[in-house]
């Protein structure tokens, strides 16, 4: 009997999905375990998709995406990040953020290579490294006071002749950590010095609470780079425009990598659906106002949950500067999956176990606060009661 390839066997199961599978068999669960808001996609985006279908956007497009959408993305970067990009060679439209990770990691790793991943992190980058027959090495961020920070000493110690990639996510899922300017410069210097590709997952770019004005983006690494730097940005419409089910994103990369990713995508997805690319153009053109009101609402949710958790005691709750997660570290907790399972079964509150996010994650739980305020209030109340008689 032929076997499943070892590169596939090595990919671990998602522990978030494992928890969700239990929750989905239950009724009336307060679902805070997935990274998704319950806001539906705005109407103007849905209308743009329908209109595109009527206009005949039902055929193949360029592998890199519609030229108009790539131009709009270049304009977006100029407007939002003050960065100039060449839409023809440095931007590739992908079928989601995770597909951007998949194709770029595929482009830079050879079998047996190593990829450094800053953790705790959404597990998909590490899983993609495994899928390429390469090896992820997780380097935990350090909790200093109430903020996480990059551990440059551990990064230096982890580099070997096989290391070719460093992946980080800012704003971070699950930490809400946002790389400071010094950290961005340090990571870039580190990548240049060791000849590594630096892959920045910036899908939460617009969910940022520390800018001069609410709604300003987290500064992209692209502000620091020149176009010859070995830097890749993975991006998505999912979080910014409430489009998780549409599966559309993009990548920004040095020209040679952009060309290779475009070519490989021919054999993976060819390109995202044409009418959805048109809907993405509408999102970029008209999305700012709704986006800003969503961020204001998320900030209120964040502040509410942060205060509620800190009042419960028995945990350290780092201050998040972006994304829509809190990642409290619960005192004495050694099995976050068992904790989340018991919490789910006893109270119907669904959280993601910290162990799902790799090194440094065990002992914490992730709470997605993108739900309605009423749901968050109930969840915080039940969590407080559960913790007050905690047996785990
Ligand atoms: C850090 C991070 N990157 C990428 C993604 C992928 O987003 P999508 O594949 O929906 O575009 C997610 C989704 O949860 C995420 O949390």
Please tell me whether residue 231 adopts helix, strand or coil conformation.
Answer: strand
* Long-range pairs, 15-18, Cβ under 8 A, ≥24: 15/337, 15/352, 15/353, 15/355, 15/356, 16/123, 16/352, 16/353, 16/356, 18/337
Choose which residue among 141, 236, 241, 247 to substitute to test ligand 1 binding: the one with the highest number of ligand atoms within 8 A of its C-beta.
236
- Locate the ligand 1 atom nearest the alpha carbon of residue 201 and give its number: 3
What's the pLDDT at 391?
Answer: 62
- Report d(CA 155, CA 178) in Å as an integer: 18
pLDDT of 392 strictly over 70: no
The average pLDDT across 175-189 equals 98
The average pLDDT across 235-240 equals 97
Q: What's the pLDDT tens digit per position in 257-313? A: 999 999 999 999 999 999 999 999 999 999 999 999 999 999 999 999 999 999 998
Choose which residue among 95, 119, 122 to substitute to test ligand 1 binding: the one with the highest number of ligand atoms within 8 A of its C-beta.
122
- Report d(CA 242, CA 221) in Å as an integer: 23
What's the pLDDT at 38?
Answer: 83
Task: For residue 37, name the pLDDT band (cuts at 50, 70, 90).
Answer: confident
Residue 307 has, within 13 A of its CA and on its CB side, a CA count of 8
Measuring from atom 8 of ligand 1, which residue has the nearest CA?
A: 97
Q: What's the pLDDT tens digit per position in 101-110? A: 999 999 999 9
What's the pLDDT at 389?
Answer: 83
Task: For residue 36, name the pLDDT band (cuts at 50, 70, 90).
Answer: confident
Q: Are 104 and 257 in contact (CB under 8 A)?
A: yes
Residue in the block written with tokens 């800003």: 292
- Report d(CA 283, CA 330) in Å as an integer: 39
Q: Which residues line ligand 1 (CB under 6 A)?
A: 35, 96-98, 122, 169, 173, 201, 203, 236, 238, 244, 249
Q: Are 236 and 251 in contact (CB under 8 A)?
A: no
Measuring from atom 13 of ligand 1, which residue has the nearest CA?
A: 35
**168 C-alpha to center of ligand 1: Å?**
13
Q: What's the pLDDT tens digit per position in 115-154? A: 999 999 999 999 999 999 999 999 999 999 889 999 999 9
Q: What's the pLDDT tens digit per position in 193-227? A: 999 999 999 999 999 999 999 999 999 999 999 98
Q: Are 49 and 41 in contact (CB under 8 A)?
A: no
pLDDT of 390 strictly over 90: no
- Locate the ligand 1 atom nearest the alpha carbon of residue 236 and give its number: 11
**235 C-alpha to center of ligand 1: Å?**
8
> Which residues fall within 8 angstroms of residue 20, CB to CB, at 6 or more apart?
31, 33, 34, 350
**Candidate from 106-110, 214-218, 363-367, 387-391 with smallest mean pLDDT:** 387-391
Residue in the block written with tokens 């949710």: 301
How far from chain centre, in Å, is Cα 65? Answer: 22
- Report d(CA 386, CA 98) in Å as an integer: 35
């Amino acid at each position: 009997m032929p076997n499943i390839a070892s590169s596939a066997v090595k990919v671990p199961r998602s522990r978030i999905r494992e928890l969700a599978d239990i929750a989905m068999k239950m009724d009336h669960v307060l679902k805070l375990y997935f990274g998704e808001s319950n806001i539906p996609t705005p109407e103007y985006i849905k209308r743009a998709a329908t209109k595109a279908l009527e206009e005949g956007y039902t055929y193949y497009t360029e592998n890199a995406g519609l030229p108009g959408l790539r131009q709009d993305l270049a304009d977006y970067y100029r407007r939002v990040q003050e960065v100039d990009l060449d839409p023809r060679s440095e931007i590739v439209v992908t079928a989601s953020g995770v597909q951007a990770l998949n194709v770029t990691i595929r482009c830079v790793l050879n079998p047996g290579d190593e990829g450094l991943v800053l953790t705790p992190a959404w597990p998909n980058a590490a899983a993609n490294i495994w899928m390429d027959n390469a090896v992820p090495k997780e380097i935990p961020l350090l909790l200093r006071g109430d903020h996480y920070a990059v551990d440059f000493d551990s990064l230096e110690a982890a580099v070997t002749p096989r290391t070719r990639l460093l992946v980080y996510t800012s704003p971070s899922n699950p930490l809400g950590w946002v790389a400071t300017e010094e950290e961005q410069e340090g990571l870039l210097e580190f990548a240049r010095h060791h000849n590594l590709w630096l892959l920045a997952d910036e899908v939460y770019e617009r969910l940022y609470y520390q800018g001069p004005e609410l709604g300003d983006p987290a500064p992209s690494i692209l502000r620091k780079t020149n176009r010859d730097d070995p830097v890749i940005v993975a991006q998505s419409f999912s979080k910014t425009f409430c489009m998780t089910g549409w599966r559309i994103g993009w990548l920004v990369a040095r020209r040679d990598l952009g060309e290779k990713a475009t070519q490989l995508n021919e054999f993976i997805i060819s390109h995202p659906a044409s009418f959805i690319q048109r809907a993405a153009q509408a999102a970029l053109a008209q999305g700012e106002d709704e986006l800003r009101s969503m961020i204001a609402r998320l900030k209120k949710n964040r502040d509410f949950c942060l205060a509620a958790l800190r009042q419960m005691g028995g945990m350290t709750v780092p201050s998040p500067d972006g994304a829509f997660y809190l990642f409290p570290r619960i005192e004495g907790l050694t099995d976050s999956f068992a904790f989340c399972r018991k919490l789910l079964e006893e109270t119907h509150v669904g959280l993601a176990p910290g162990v799902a996010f790799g090194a440094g994650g065990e002992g914490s739980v992730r709470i997605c606060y993108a739900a309605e305020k009423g749901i968050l209030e109930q969840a915080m109340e039940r969590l407080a009661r559960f913790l007050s008689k905690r047996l785990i």
